[in-house]
Chains A and B, each alone.
Chain A
């Protein structure tokens, strides 16, 4: 039996993925290429981008690696220019750059707070608005996807600045969807909030709980952290025509890891409040 749903394909779409050189962004970039898109990967480290771009070409799709600091407006402009120069248009923008950082209120410093807000929230604002302008100019509409985090919904005493930025991103997503709806622009703006995700970096740091408990029993997959492809799969769906009637929505990507009863798993027992 073959799959006959063209609506789920990204064939010949042009996508930009920021933070595309590693982790979740790398996975999204490659999933987009497998779904048929040509992908512009943007992040600060050129060597990482080059490696992902090479893999995308290996999948038979075109790619462009643009070294970019996504907190700098002129570099975002340059990213858009380079994309249009090579591919002629932009269909999908994934604002995925960011990073969690601890923030100790006892040593709270305004510059550190601002650094985290800038990296996690300003970056999405800059990318979204720049991409939106291109999409409005094309008149073809487009898809904007912001990668937030369950930190933006839950409370985490270790991550006040990161969590505030990610919460801000969720609200900004909805507001931008509203603004484009008011302007009668067919641009879908949605947010994806992954929970704890086993990226290679997280795995290497030893933060991923074992899938075998101390008593030898297996932890059910839904009680384990996300794999990066779980986040990427949802991003493929949201970027496709199959989700063309979804806008201003938040998709939370996580299982029930917080329900795992075993002591060898760090639990986040706070239920999601929506």
Chain B
């Protein structure tokens, strides 16, 4: 048994249908490959069931639960159902989130609130609800998905960057609070992730072009946008006993993208 194996663990992945970059689906599938039974959570039944089918096709176990993570009562129901299905909750991956683009001066207050609601409130609600189960069980692992935008700021997505900065900070506070309960809380922050052919909803044409141009450049893989698999691998690390002493950390997964700031 190696230190990254997740046999007999039960993992919840929110945003597991992976409709934008496909990080959630990659996380769910990779956790399953590592041995976990996976509860795939999202708003769209069809996309969830596609991921569940893929996992079952690998001979692993998964179920889908439709829930809106911004609604406290739905989150409570989700946690109850999830612990009912597989008997425990060992891992929670707070991946549900979305990005939209626009100049801050053009941003509506509603857009700001929607962004905070999904990226930050959803993470908070799921963490707190899952922690109650984990405390009863004697411990668990929570992995949040942040963003490099949450550290460096973002020119055309201030609301998104602020929500992810809050997620990174929430990670640290929850880690301090729950260290006595044996709950590790860590964060994985992706940089640019490669754009699937069909594009990402709401992404401006110029941003899509920039990434697709970069994707086809003849440079080493560190200089390319990341793949959903890169994020999924880091999530497995933080979900596994290989990171048993780590808590409150934020691992940024963005290749050498940051190096362009020093051009």
Chain A contact residues, CB within 8 Å of chain B: 1-5, 7-8, 31, 34-35, 141, 177-178, 180-182, 184-186, 188, 220-223, 226-227, 229-230, 233-234, 236-237, 242-249, 251-256, 259, 272, 274
A190 CB, nearest partner CB in chain B, Å = 10
**B237-263 interface mask toward A, CB cutoff 8 Å, 1 = contact, 0 = none?**
100011111111111111110110010
Say yes or no for B88: interface residue by CB 8 A criterion: no
Whether B220 pairs with A246 at a CB distance below 8 angstroms is no
On whether A242 and B245 interact (CB within 8 A), knowing A186-B222, A248-B258, the answer reads: no
Stretch of B45-53, B99-107, B227-235 that contacts chain A: B227-235
A250 to B34 Cα, complex, angstroms: 25
Q: Smallest CB–CB gap between A215 and chain B, Å?
A: 15
Listed by A's residue number, 8 A-B pairs whose Cβ atoms lie within 8 Å are A3-B35, A4-B33, A5-B30, A220-B182, A221-B244, A252-B246, A253-B246, A259-B180
Which residues of B pack against A, CB within 8 Å?
1-5, 7-8, 30, 33-35, 58, 60, 175-176, 179-182, 184, 219-223, 226-227, 229-230, 233-234, 236-237, 241-256, 258-259, 262
Which residues on B sit within 8 Å (CB–CB) of A254?
245-246
Tell me, in angstroms, the Cα distance from A112 to B220 when the chains sit together.
43
In the assembled complex, the CB of B227 is this many whole angstroms from the nearest CB of chain A, namely: 7
Q: Is the CB of A222 within 8 A of B33?
A: no
Of B33, B221, B246, B255, which contacts A234 at CB under 8 A?
Answer: B246
Whether A245 lies near B226 (C-beta < 8 A) is yes
B249:A178 contact, CB within 8 angstroms = no
Q: How far is the CA of A259 from the CA of B237 in the complex (A)?
A: 24
* A-B complex: 10 closest residue pairs judged by Cβ atoms: A181-B256, A256-B179, A242-B233, A245-B230, A186-B220, A233-B242, A181-B259, A222-B179, A230-B245, A1-B35
Closest Cβ of chain B to A24, distance in Å, is 13
In the bound complex, residues from chain B placing their C-beta under 8 Å from that of A251 are 246, 249, 251
